[in-house]
Amino acid sequence: MESSSAAAAPLLNDALFKTLTDSFFTPLLVCITTLGILGNVINIMVFRQRTPMDIMTTCFIALAVSDLLYFCFFVPNFISEAFVKNGVRILNNVDIHSLFFFTMTYQKSLFNKISITITAFMAFERSLCVARPFKVKRLFTRRRVIIILTAIYLCLIVLFTPSLLSAEAVWKYPGNRTEPVLMFQPTSLRIVADYISRFMTGFSLIVVTQVIITISAGLMISGLRRHQHFRQTASSGARRPGKPERTRHKLSFFTLKASLRKKTSRGSSEKAENEIEPSCRDEQSERKLSEKVALPDPNSQDAASATRSTRHNSSSQTINPAETASSKEIRLIKTVLGLAVMHVILTFPSLIFFVTQNLIPELRPMRRYNNIFYLGAKIITISNSLNGMLGTLVYLTLNERYKIQFQKLFCYRRFNT
């Protein structure tokens, strides 16, 4: 008996887990969620100022709506748990804890998953904008993005419908009370609802979206490196060994037109020369031969070398900001890549927890790891709530036009003085 009780003892003490959850994770989650919503609102205002309504503004509006609804369902649930723990009763005939648990827990999870999916879609869209900028303009239009975002909302609402219908209201007599109390209890759909909300739309969706974010960050890094290499070769004019030198600038319509004009003018001048008298033609030919035989002026070589040096200096001056900007972008996106990989790694303990608790009864002695799995789930929720705030910081660091619009909107003293 002693060995079985020792084996069933939790690896992390329940009192320590409760202290960490109540005093650290929950207040931190509320603060980060509030800052994330504020960051999404700032992004909407800045992108709205730049263009009337573009793709990114549409995505930020959809993300801000889901984050705001998540916050509206999360805060009452958090307050009700605090009231129950402190013994505060608001309504005598209603069980507040069961009411908020069954009417707001699944809704909170629903809008959290919507925010995660929209964030993954935005990361994939940004990566394609960096890797294939011209194809994305044709692929992602405003109408298609609105259809995709609406489909995300509708699909997840349909998947969460059994969860939303998995509670019923009953009157019970808890304890020694003589008056009935309205309580909410799970129905027969609870097993299906738990399977859908925890496995299909929970851990699997988190893993898939974070893998998409990781792949998107990799695409962004490769695209930025390609742009950096193109800037270096275009500014220095270097070519790869063993390959013929290619023209760096393609001929446009106007350059072709100018070259045709030169050819026609050259042909007309040759016609005019053929029609000139033989004596004049001999004089002109002698003059041309004397010009060809004459030695080149050394001043012209100095001028050519001076122009070469000025071109080299100007190219070296223009390449350094591009190199530093692209390397700065690569460092930041590598940070986002590391966060995404960490997020994917932290998701697997929660998946193991669900499998051991619901699908494989023989592994239920692993319940001693429950508190650690719950802490992993808390960290996942906190990292999901960082998206809006991190997006604002990344835009302020990378995008100069975003920074200028941000300063015009929120830094009035700097622009009015």
pLDDT digits (tens, 9 = 90+) for 28-44: 877 877 887 888 788 88
Residue 152 has pLDDT above 50, yes or no: yes
Phi, psi of 257 (to 5 degrees): -65, -40
pLDDT value, residue 199: 65
Burial class (CB in 10 A: 0-12, 13-18, 19+), 57: buried
Closest Cα partner for 380 from 414, 351, 410?
351
Buried b / exposed e over 77-97, threshold 16 CB at 10 Å, is bbebbeebeeeeeeeeeebbb
Across the range 119-132, mean pLDDT stands at: 76
**Residues written for the chain:** 417
93 or 360, higher pLDDT? 93
Burial class (CB in 10 A: 0-12, 13-18, 19+), 384: buried
Residue pLDDT, tens place only, 315-355: 444 444 445 545 666 666 666 666 666 666 666 666 666 66
Residue 219 has pLDDT above 70, yes or no: yes
Under the banding of pLDDT at 50, 70 and 90, the label for residue 68 is confident
Among the ranges given (58-67, 276-285, 303-312, 398-407), the one the predictor scored with the smallest mean pLDDT: 276-285
pLDDT value, residue 235: 60
pLDDT value, residue 151: 93
Report the alpha-carbon distance of residue 344 to residue 210 in Å, rounded.
6
Closest Cα partner for 120 from 39, 55, 210?
210
Phi, psi of 277 (to 5 degrees): -65, 155
Across the range 5-12, mean pLDDT stands at: 55
Phi, psi of 17 (to 5 degrees): -65, -45
Report the alpha-carbon distance of residue 228 to residue 222 in Å, rounded.
10
For residue 415, being part of any structural domain is answered with no
Residue type, 334: K
pLDDT value, residue 136: 63
For residue 393, being part of any structural domain is answered with yes
Under the banding of pLDDT at 50, 70 and 90, the label for residue 183 is confident
Report the alpha-carbon distance of residue 224 to residue 398 in Å, rounded.
13
This prediction has a pTM of 0.63
170 or 144, higher pLDDT? 144
Report the alpha-carbon distance of residue 99 to residue 65 in Å, rounded.
24
304 or 361, higher pLDDT? 361
Report the alpha-carbon distance of residue 164 to residue 104 in Å, rounded.
9
Report the alpha-carbon distance of residue 84 to residue 90 in Å, rounded.
10
Under the banding of pLDDT at 50, 70 and 90, the label for residue 385 is low
E-strand stretches of 146-188: 167-172, 181-186
For residue 246, being part of any structural domain is answered with no
Report the alpha-carbon distance of residue 221 to residue 206 in Å, rounded.
23
Residue type, 232: Q
pLDDT value, residue 148: 92
Residues 6+ apart with CB under 8 A from 141: 55
- Number of domains into which the chain is organized: 1
Supply the range of the domain harboring residue 152.
Answer: 29-237+316-409
For residue 77, being part of any structural domain is answered with yes
Phi, psi of 187 (to 5 degrees): -100, -170
Answer whether 201's CB lies under 8 Å from 289's CB: no
For residue 202, being part of any structural domain is answered with yes
pLDDT value, residue 329: 62
pLDDT value, residue 147: 93
Across the range 13-18, mean pLDDT stands at: 71
Phi, psi of 181 (to 5 degrees): -125, 135
Report residue 146 as tokens: 């609105």
Under the banding of pLDDT at 50, 70 and 90, the label for residue 312 is very low
For residue 305, being part of any structural domain is answered with no
Residue 149 has pLDDT above 70, yes or no: yes
pLDDT value, residue 111: 87
Phi, psi of 170 (to 5 degrees): -135, 155
Among the ranges given (183-187, 285-289, 404-408), the one the predictor scored with the smallest mean pLDDT: 285-289
Report residue 9 as tokens: 């003892």
Report the alpha-carbon distance of residue 379 to residue 386 in Å, rounded.
11
CATH code of the domain in which 151 resides: 1.20.1070.10
For residue 253, being part of any structural domain is answered with no
Residue 414 has pLDDT above 90, yes or no: no
Report the alpha-carbon distance of residue 309 to residue 231 in Å, rounded.
19
Closest Cα partner for 56 from 6, 122, 106, 104?
122
111 or 243, higher pLDDT? 111
For residue 179, being part of any structural domain is answered with yes
